[in-house]
Amino acid sequence: MATPKIPLVLATTNEGKAREIRAALRGLPFRVVTLAAIGVAAAYPEKGATFEANARGKGLHYSRKSEFLTLAEDSGLVVDALDGAPGVRSARFSGRGATDEKNIRKLLRLMKDVPPKARKGRFVCRMVLSHRSRVLVSVCGEVRGTITSAPRGKLGFGYDPVFYYRPWHKTFGEIPPGAKNAVSHRGRALAKIKDFLKREGPPPWGRGRASGEGAPLGGNQASRPRP
């Protein structure tokens, strides 16, 4: 008889993010469940000034509502020429009723006079794994690229069609999901989460841990700089 898999709650209502996370965690002894599956309907208000603040807030909020491991993340696009915008407002960049298409249109409009060499940007993903109102680990993944002048490709979601990844000479909108996950900000953060889960094994874990970058903290371990 197969060993039952351990539930792991994804603290997101973004189906694009959920698909990528499910795919990345295949092969581990965890069963990914949604917020709806544990009866949570209300969305957490993301008011943090940083990706880490939002990810921590979501993780702790939803981990209080169940006995399960909870994986929360906050991610977005940081553009140098826009002083870091869209940043933590990436999903809401175009205002009320924001969609991927509207957000991209606003981004390109703001950057229409920015020369090619100044169109640098990066995707940032902060992930937090929590259990019973405790942060177990906090990790960050980043990938750098440039912003195109027009969308290219129909794959992915969010700003993928305008994020040009130079090593592959394609936008993320032109790269198949499996290949993109190997180099993306979310894929890099998930690799650290997977390493933690493999190393620590199934919960429950010892009390008294705080968060670290890719590993549980002892008394002296420090996190990397926040994005």
The Cα–Cα gap between 111 and 118 comes to: 10
**Catalytic-residue membership of 195:** no
Q: Alpha-carbon distance 132 to 109, whole Å?
A: 44
Of the residues 74, 83, 160, 195, only one is catalytic, namely 74
Provide the annotated active-site residues.
74
